[in-house]
Amino acid sequence: MSLSKYFNPIPDASVTFDGTTVQLEESLGTVRNDEESLSDFENAGHLEICDITFRANEGEVVLVLGNPTSALFKGLFHGHKNLRYSPEGSIRFKDNEFKQYAAKCPHQIIYNNEQDIHFPYLTVEQTIDFALSCKFHVSKQERIEMRDELLKEFGLSHVKKTYVGNDYVRGVSGGERKRISIIETFIANGSVYLWDNSTKGLDSATALEFLSITQKMARATRSVNFVKISQASDKIVNKFDKILMLSDSYQVFYGTMGECLSYFHDTLQIKKNPNDCIIEYLTSILNFKFKEISNSIVGLDAPFPVSKPKQASNINNEADLHTLWVQSPCYKHWKAITSKTIQECVGPDINPDDVSPVFSIPLKLQLKTCTIRAFQRIIGDRNYLISQFVSVVVQSLVIGSLFYNIPLTTIGSFSRGSLTFFSILFFTFLSLADMPASFQRQPVVRKHVQLHFYFNWVETLATTFFDCFSKFLLVVVFTIILYFLAHLQYNAARFFIFLLFLSIYNFCMVSLFALTALIAPTLSVANLLAGILLLAIAMYASYVIYMKDMHPWFIWIAYLNPAMFAMEAILSNELFNLKLDCHESIIPRANPITIFHSAIKLVLGKVPL
């Protein structure tokens, strides 16, 4: 089976820059630290790269070197938001204006960084199946054939039943996890791929394998690929079709690797240290380290300096490098190609034939696929599933034993209130325990949303469906054990009402802490917010402080508190029309005439018989 028949990129895809001066946000090339304030991050400066001129065609893999590479990649990925360039130049995807096309068809521009983020408790097979189900609306049999072909091509057939894993969960190796990321990225079925330092952390052999696979998939999918690599052997560098070199503010070269070495070594007379690999040699040029090149002769202990060649002596800054590049025949060759490409773009800014739907499957299938994955996640993490079940059983037995066989007396009414409060508080803590899992899920969901597998809210809705089902089972187990141990009213209607309100309250808490995890920037902030919410829920549930005793300034918290409504509903269900004997411990020792009336006053909501 040929993989190319399943991938449908835009035909004759190409990316053309014609004398473009690009302005980029400097923060796009960096990652914000937790200690760095958001305002400082947003007020970061801008990068400007002048006179970018090149053309990359379908099936090509282009190496991009230079400090502003990450910022350029992210600018292209968020083209309609953060990319700004001068009106004198032009950026084209095929014959479409790039910014407008990126806004109309963002799924055609795919970005991948060095992070291999996956759900650790999904198998390799399940991970690839999910990606294929989101991007290819074909029969199940065709998806299985395509999955098996991809696993075979990437050498993952032997681990398809193995967990993907991560730094804490045992699974496949780092190189195999990188291959899974490559498969997932190519399944996104885009036309332009931006690989931002994707070989970081890989050894030389694995990095070479990564590039070989990328090149093979680039040919199969007929896509344009730009790759940033910080360190690489000569074997890796020679795999690239073209190389684009960027200094901090200028483009200084574009062409094949052979042309690049000939240009710098022969034309500019910049000597290469024999101990340096190609990428170190080129990086030293961008960093102007060639002024202090030194060589060692075998048999001598000390290196001796090499005099700077005559041509290189004219290079004092990046502007000089750019000037020499503009004067070179290679630049004139590419300038003629890009100018001709722009002149041929005489139609509208966006060609309707190149526009395709952002999502490949309808909403109904997105929701179904995400819901199935939610169940696969929890089934894979059996330890967490078992621990939750054991926790519910043990807590229900403990609380039920504390309130075993509550008597039908006035003292028993207080015990029923305590039992209800402890039941509610337990499921509050149980929902709070899910918050770290929500944080671990968010990076994977963000990556899939960027790959346009599904809408962000679809995953949230699917997770809600799963939580409703799984938590309801836990509430049922808890209720059955606790209800009958405590000897609450043996009435089917009252039992199911108890179950209903406890389930609804549990869903409210799950949603509340999921929202907290979603809006908090870090887990520490989320824990802080959760602690404040937990305190408010417990204090204003009308058990610790009665409603009539709450301060008027804060009583509104009780009316927003699901625990207060759950307490009132469950207690009303249990105590309504319940006949209680007056326990001797609450009978006041006073004049016999006042005993009856005083005893009745000690129980709120009483109705004397």
In order of their start, the domains of the chain are 3-354 (3.40.50.300), 363-578 (no CATH)
- Pick the range with the lowest mean pLDDT from 88-92, 383-387, 520-524, 598-602: 598-602
Query: Which amino acid type is present at position 433?
Result: A
What is the C-alpha separation between 216 and 477, in angstroms, rounded?
53
Report the share of the chain in percent with pLDDT over 90: 23
3-state secondary structure of 28: helix
**The tokens 């923060």 sit on which residue?**
27
What is the C-alpha separation between 546 and 76, in angstroms, rounded?
59
3-state secondary structure of 305: strand
Compare 547 and 182 and report the one with higher pLDDT: 182
192: enclosing H helix or E strand? strand 192-196
Nearest to 20, CA basis, from 74, 61, 75, 62:
75
Tokens at 124, concatenated: 């390799």
**Rounded average pLDDT over 409-433:** 83
- Is the pLDDT reported for residue 190 higher than 60? yes
Query: Which amino acid type is present at position 159?
Result: V
**pLDDT at residue 447, rounded to an integer:** 92
- Is the pLDDT reported for residue 316 higher than 80? no
What is the C-alpha separation between 7 and 59, in angstroms, rounded?
13
Q: Is the dihedral of CA 437, 438, 439, 445 positive or negative?
A: positive
- Pick the range with the lowest mean pLDDT from 2-16, 348-362, 456-470, 488-502: 2-16
**The tokens 């065709």 sit on which residue?**
142
Burial class (CB in 10 A: 0-12, 13-18, 19+), 589: exposed
Distances (CA, A) of 229 to 70, 109, 250, 298, 498: 10, 19, 19, 31, 60
Adjacency order of strands within the sheet including 61-65: 109-112, 192-196, 224-228, 61-65, 242-246, 251-255
56-99: pLDDT as tens digits: 999 899 999 988 888 888 888 876 666 777 777 788 888 888 88
245: enclosing H helix or E strand? strand 242-246
Q: What residues are paired with 254 via a beta bridge?
A: 244
Q: Which parts of 222-344 fold into alpha helices (H)?
A: 234-237, 257-261, 278-286, 318-326, 329-343
- Is the pLDDT reported for residue 185 higher than 60? yes
- Is the pLDDT reported for residue 465 higher than 50? yes
Compare 583 and 12 and report the one with higher pLDDT: 12
- Is the pLDDT reported for residue 369 higher than 90? yes
Report the share of the chain in percent with pLDDT over 70: 85
3-state secondary structure of 304: strand
Distances (CA, A) of 104 to 63, 101, 549: 27, 5, 58
- Is the pLDDT reported for residue 422 higher than 60? yes
**Rounded average pLDDT over 396-415:** 78
- Is the pLDDT reported for residue 492 higher than 70? yes
For residue 136, the tally of other CB atoms under 10 A from its CB is 18
**pLDDT at residue 397, rounded to an integer:** 93
- Is the pLDDT reported for residue 298 higher than 50? no
Mean of pLDDT over the chain: 82
Distances (CA, A) of 319 to 68, 264, 282, 351: 16, 15, 17, 37
**Rounded average pLDDT over 179-188:** 89
What is the C-alpha separation between 69 and 60, in angstroms, rounded?
18
**The tokens 């950026």 sit on which residue?**
91
- pLDDT band for 163, please (50, 70, 90 cuts): very high
- Is the pLDDT reported for residue 441 higher than 80? yes
**pLDDT at residue 41, rounded to an integer:** 36
Whether the Cβ atoms of residue 123 and residue 161 lie closer than 8 Å to each other: yes
- pLDDT band for 305, please (50, 70, 90 cuts): very low
262-284: pLDDT as tens digits: 988 888 888 888 888 888 888 88
For residue 480, the tally of other CB atoms under 10 A from its CB is 13
Whether the Cβ atoms of residue 397 and residue 478 lie closer than 8 Å to each other: no
**pLDDT at residue 496, rounded to an integer:** 93
What is the C-alpha separation between 66 and 58, in angstroms, rounded?
23
pTM given for the model: 0.81
DSSP codes of every residue in 35-69: TS-HHHHHT--EEEEEEEEEEEETT-EEEEESTTH
Compare 350 and 578 and report the one with higher pLDDT: 350
**Rounded average pLDDT over 563-581:** 80
Where does residue 419 fall: left (phi above 0), alpha (psi -120 to 50 degrees), or beta otherwise?
alpha
**pLDDT at residue 39, rounded to an integer:** 39
- pLDDT band for 206, please (50, 70, 90 cuts): confident
Q: Which parts of 489-540 fold into alpha helices (H)?
A: 492-519, 523-539
**pLDDT at residue 4, rounded to an integer:** 67
N-term to C-term CA, the chain: 84
